[in-house]
Amino acid sequence: MISTWSTIGTVGTLGITAPPVSGGRWHRSVQVIYGPPAAGAFGTGPDPVAGITVATRSGVRTVLVHSGQPDGPTAPAGPTGPTTHPPLLGTDDHFAVDADTCAEGPWLACADVLVHSRPRQRSGAWLRLNRVLARHAGCRLVALPLLDGSCAVADRDGTRCLLRLAEGTGTAGPERWSQAASCLHGLLSTGHTLDGLRHVSFLTGP
Per-residue pLDDT tens for 93-143?
A: 999 999 998 877 888 888 999 999 999 999 999 999 999 999 999 999 999
- pLDDT band at residue 65 using 50, 70 and 90 as cut-offs: confident
Question: Using one digit for the tens of pLDDT, what is the confidence trace for 151-166?
Answer: 899 999 999 988 775 4
Its pTM stands at 0.75
> What is the C-alpha to C-alpha distance for residues 184 and 179, in angstroms, rounded to an integer?
9
Predicted confidence at residue 168, as pLDDT, reads 44
Three-state SS at 176: helix
